[in-house]
A and B are shown apart, each in its own frame.
Chain A
């Protein structure tokens, strides 16, 4: 494999968990619910997927468990913010705090006796790239196909989510709920149901992003395996202007810097490793700020107007 192809392969692999979680968070925020629990849900997704695969030896079960855990945590967020009308920021941050702490706690309890009940250092089945051997020989092109099933899922989800949001009736409803719940309600759209639905769906996709980390990108469990990717997702949602079609660029940017940085470390440069590890985050944030600022000046697009607010019918 030539250098470019390998960089591109790693870029896409690194971008996968971010993209799928970003699409999930976009759907959630489009309904007007801000879920700052992304980091926590990704961690819980990564942990539960790895644990399930370790004991069941089945990738499918691992993915299903992650989806279930993500859905449950998001359900909690939906319940607190929609039904109980708790502050969305507070509820989301609580879920992140909980997910961070609880995943680290479980990581020291769920392992086998032989490993002192710890999950760290264990190996389990991984999700492997799907492409047949002959495809892997084609330069550049192979980078796109030499990927695992979740990446393939992202390929499908990206255009699908865009199409859903802008061209279908339920997508239109979803957007109206996030823009103007009063109007959506008066039009006969069930605001509460919509918000529950897309918060849960978003949580499932976010957890799947986490599962991709522990089953494919950096196989195995380690504390804080996400390394703050949950927060990058929140930033990417803003960068994408809540449009799934744009989410991919930010994710690839982060993935790309990551890949280059890996390469540099592997080649043994004199640049300190900690500095290199920081690069993807710094780079992404700088580009995000510049791009978003530039966009916001040039067009009248922005956050869903009702993002972060709760809605009750008889309450103005």
Chain B
């Protein structure tokens, strides 16, 4: 041993606690040059916390950080930037009302008083071309899709020449194509000697992206390995601490009467363009209808029309045997429709309210949670305790505000509430997004239980394997149109893939 390799980043004995939780417990982490480290762990294991410590947003209670072998005193994101650390956060850090260009300039410390917009735009365009990350510099952030927003986040780091990239669940919101794009970018950056920490719940991605893996459980490091030396199954077991079933039992398909019917529905998207084009289908009790499609092809609008959050401009919506076209969300909830929304931070949960209140939100109008106009707090907390247990929601207590939970646990809270509230139709939009393998398994099983219990389930997913496993029938959505509906057990993956990309059978033949 004449020379030891000095790691690019070394975190030693990092501990960080929040009221009621020890989020990181004496964690050691090493990252080498040109290395991608996958950081795994259940929801709430402390992955985001650890990375927030590295990028200067959180101060650790204990522990030290070394960059290139020397002690790094990181007190703020600005300090971290000086050491070349850049992070793409689980919730993007972009100012919605500003343009892409302005968001890039925001992070540049050595721009002159009057920034040289022209020069920055040129360099941005060059970088975008170099890494194939196409984006319009003048667009405002709120006009961009999630995938495009993420490109902006990555461009922000590339522009600053960040040497150490932290990507917190970057693919949770991406379409499969976009994930591939990202994998290319990460590889290119590795070639240039940059290093990355990559947080994800998807095992295939761990295998595809990373050189080494590190698993956190309840704030502690429980395993470390070279990616080549492990398997997805083993990793899943290390994360959850038990065997994870990738297969789920399902009762035979025996559908009942029609619970949801759309006939020739048109609807506009946020930007005023036609987002749903003549959509018709039927959903029966005891059936899971999977909606396949690349995100942004009308999924959100479809879910919103069904739940009353968006008006349709044409066509009819029937729930049970009642006409519910353009009725209010409350009237639709009264028909027993539940909704797990796509955007769980803004539509799904009220961050300032407690976990218990959020769980009770759809049932508070009626007994047993209320007597007349009075709520019964004890019953609400009891209900919450039961659901927290059933769905393994990691929270210090039922009274904790939802905004303090980890990303995946917010998702589980919404899920628990909605599953409890459904009586006829369940609309689940990407319900397993951002969930760990154990929780994903729970979600799939719950959806199937709902179906077996006689509900109609409208299930949106981008993961074809998941769709095939869970659904009874699959409809493909492309540019707001239904391209075809198939029985899941007879479906042809190839063909569905083609339809998702907008190619019809005739065109491919």
Contacts and interface: CB of A to CB of B under 8 A. Distances in A.
A18 B249 CA distance: 72
Contacts of B87: 186
A179 interface: yes
Contact of A186 (B57, B115, B403): B57
A218 interface: no
A316 B403 contact: yes
B115 A169 contact: yes
B351 interface: yes
A182 B109 CA distance: 17
B327 interface: no
B262 interface: no
A184 B55 CA distance: 14
A83 interface: no
B241 interface: no
Contacts of B404: 316
A185 B98 contact: no
Contact of A188 (B78, B89, B112, B115): B78
A169 B77 contact: no
Classify chain B: how many residues form its interface, as a range: 20 to 34
Given A185-B77, A316-B351, A175 B98 contact: yes
A164 to B, nearest CB: 10
Contact of A187 (B77, B113, B403): B77
The DSSP consensus for interface residues of chain B is loop
Interface in B94-110: 94-98, 102, 105-107, 109
B98 A189 contact: no
Contacts of B106: 172-173, 176, 183-184, 187, 189
B103 to A, nearest CB: 8
Interface in A161-181: 167-170, 172-173, 175-176, 179-180
A179 B113 contact: no
A286 to B, nearest CB: 29
Nearest to A167: B114
Interface in A191-210: none
A179 B95 contact: yes
B81 A188 contact: yes
Given A172-B102, A185-B57, A180 B89 contact: no
A241 to B, nearest CB: 12
A167 B98 CA distance: 13
A110 interface: no
A185 B52 CA distance: 12
Contacts of A169: 105, 111-115
Nearest to A180: B95
A172 B105 contact: yes
B351 A180 contact: no
A314 interface: yes
Interface string B18-40: 10000000000000000000000
B76 interface: yes
B58 interface: yes
A188 B107 contact: yes
A188 B115 CA distance: 17
B132 interface: no
A316 B58 CA distance: 11
B58 A314 contact: yes
Contact of B93 (A172, A173, A183): A183
B95 A168 contact: no
B93 A305 contact: no
B98 A179 contact: yes
Interface string B401-419: 0011000000000000000
Contacts of A187: 77, 93, 106-107
Contacts of A172: 98, 102, 105-106, 115
A179 B18 CA distance: 27
B381 to A, nearest CB: 23
Contacts of B105: 169, 172
Contacts of B89: 186
9 contacts: A169-B112, A179-B96, A183-B93, A184-B95, A186-B87, A186-B89, A188-B77, A189-B106, A316-B403
Interface of B: 18, 55, 57-59, 76-78, 81, 87, 89, 93-98, 102, 105-107, 109, 111-115, 142, 351, 403-404
The 4 closest A-B pairs by CB, nearest first: A188-B78, A183-B93, A186-B93, A316-B403
Given A180-B95, A184-B95, 16 more contacts: A168-B115, A169-B111, A169-B112, A172-B102, A172-B115, A183-B95, A186-B55, A186-B57, A187-B107, A188-B77, A188-B109, A190-B76, A190-B78, A300-B142, A313-B58, A314-B59
Interface of A: 167-170, 172-173, 175-176, 179-180, 182-190, 300, 305, 313-314, 316
